[in-house]
C-alpha cells in the first residue's frame, strides 16, 4: 500500500470524534482545527497540502497546496507522526453535530468525491485534491460550484456530515434526487448533475429552491439530513432583533418585552 495503514475507532453519537491508532512511523493528516487530543510520542508537523507530494520537491508542494486554495481550504494541513516505539493514538473531532464517516478508498476504486468542507482526516499518502465539474448546470447551481473535493489513494479517509447520514447503493440506471446541500459525497462511477424543479408553484411556494441534485448509478452515495448551511440559517433566523432575547419562547413574544418594561425605541 502507498498510504499508511491505520486502525481507528469512532466514539459518540451526536458529537462524534475518531480515535486513530498509529504504529511506529505511521502518520495521519488532518484539517487545521480538527485536532482533539493525542498521546505522547506523536510529533505534529504543519505541511503544505496533504503531504502526498512531499517527495516531488518544492514544486510538488506548491502545486498540492494551490489545489487546496481552490477548494476554499487552508494552504496547510497538519501531519501527526508516531515517533515512538509502540502504538500511539490521536483523535480528531467533528466540528458540528453529526456523524463521522470512514471511507476505505480501496473499496471504492481508489477515489471518492465529496463536498469541499466534508474532509476531516486521512492516512498519510491519501491525495486530497479537487474535482472539476464538466457540466455547466452543475457548476452554476449545484451549491458546490465547479469544484468539489477529491480523495484518492488506497488508504482510509474520514469525512464528517451534519445530522443523520444515509448510505445509498445505486444500481445501474437507478436515480436519486436530493437537496443539493444534503449531498455528502459519492463514488467515481456515480453520474452527478443538477435538475430543474418543474412547476411554477413549486418554485415560488415550495421553499426548497429551484434545483436539486440528481444522482444516477451505479455507485454509492452518502446523504446528510442537516447541512451546516441549513443549521446556520436556522440559528441566524432565530436570533432576536437588536440583541433583545427576553421574548424568546414566550407566547407574547415582542409584546411580552413591551409589557416587561424593556421598551427600546
The confidence score (pLDDT) of residue 32 equals 81
Q: Which residues of the chain have pLDDT under 50?
A: 54-55, 71, 136, 138-139, 142-145, 201-207, 246-252, 255-256, 258-265
Question: Could you tell me the domains of the chain?
Answer: 7-235 (3.60.160.10)
pTM: 0.76
Contacts 24+ apart (CB under 8 A), 238-245: none
Between CA 49 and CA 25 the distance in angstroms is: 20
Tell me the three-class secondary structure of the chain, residue by residue: CCCCCCEEEEECCCCCEEEEEECCCCEEEECCCCEEEECCCEEEEEEECCCCCHHHHHHHHHHHHHHHHHCCCCCEEEEEEECCCCCEEEEEECCCCEEEEEEEHHHHCCEEEECCCCEEEEECCCEEEEEECCCHHHHHHCCCCCEEEEEECCCEEEEEEECCEEEEEECCCCEEEECHHHEEEEECCCEEEEEECCCHHHHHHCCCCCEEEEEECCEEEEEECCCHHHHHHHHHHHCCHHHCCCCCCCCCCHHHHHHCCCCCC
Between CA 121 and CA 151 the distance in angstroms is: 11
Grid coordinates representing 71? 477548494
The confidence score (pLDDT) of residue 145 equals 46
The confidence score (pLDDT) of residue 54 equals 47
Each residue's pLDDT tens digit, 19-72: 999 999 999 999 888 999 999 999 999 887 666 654 455 555 555 555 555 545
Triad 131, 135, 140: Cα angle to 5°: 90
The confidence score (pLDDT) of residue 179 equals 85
Distance of CA 161 to the CA centre of its chain: 6
The confidence score (pLDDT) of residue 21 equals 96
The confidence score (pLDDT) of residue 242 equals 58
Amino acid at each position: 500500500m502507498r498510504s499508511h495503514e491505520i486502525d481507528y475507532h469512532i466514539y459518540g453519537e451526536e458529537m462524534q470524534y475518531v480515535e486513530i491508532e498509529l504504529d511506529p512511523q505511521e502518520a495521519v493528516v488532518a484539517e487545521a482545527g480538527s485536532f482533539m487530543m493525542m498521546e505522547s510520542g506523536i510529533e505534529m508537523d504543519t505541511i503544505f497540502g496533504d503531504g502526498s507530494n512531499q517527495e516531488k520537491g518544492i514544486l510538488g508542494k506548491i502545486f498540492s497546496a494551490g489545489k487546496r486554495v481552490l477548494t476554499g481550504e487552508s494552504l496547510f494541513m497538519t501531519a501527526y507522526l508516531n515517533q515512538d516505539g509502540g502504538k500511539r493514538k490521536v483523535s480528531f473531532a467533528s466540528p458540528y453535530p453529526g456523524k463521522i464517516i470512514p471511507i476505505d478508498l480501496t473499496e471504492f476504486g481508489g477515489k471518492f468525491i465529496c463536498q469541499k468542507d466534508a474532509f476531516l482526516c486521512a492516512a498519510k499518502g491519501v491525495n486530497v485534491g479537487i474535482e472539476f465539474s464538466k457540466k455547466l448546470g452543475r457548476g452554476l447551481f449545484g451549491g458546490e460550484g465547479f469544484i468539489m473535493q477529491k480523495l484518492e489513494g488506497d488508504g482510509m479517509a474520514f469525512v464528517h456530515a451534519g445530522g443523520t447520514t444515509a448510505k445509498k447503493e445505486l444500481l445501474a440506471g437507478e436515480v436519486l434526487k436530493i437537496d443539493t446541500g444534503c449531498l455528502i459525497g459519492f463514488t467515481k462511477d456515480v453520474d452527478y448533475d443538477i435538475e430543474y424543479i418543474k412547476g411554477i408553484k413549486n418554485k415560488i411556494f415550495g421553499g426548497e429552491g429551484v434545483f436539486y441534485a440528481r444522482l444516477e448509478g451505479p455507485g454509492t452515495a452518502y446523504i446528510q439530513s442537516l447541512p451546516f448551511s441549513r443549521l446556520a440559517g436556522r440559528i441566524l433566523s432565530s436570533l432576536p432583533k437588536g440583541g433583545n432575547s427576553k421574548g424568546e419562547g414566550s407566547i407574547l413574544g415582542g409584546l411580552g418585552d413591551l409589557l416587561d418594561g424593556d421598551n427600546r425605541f
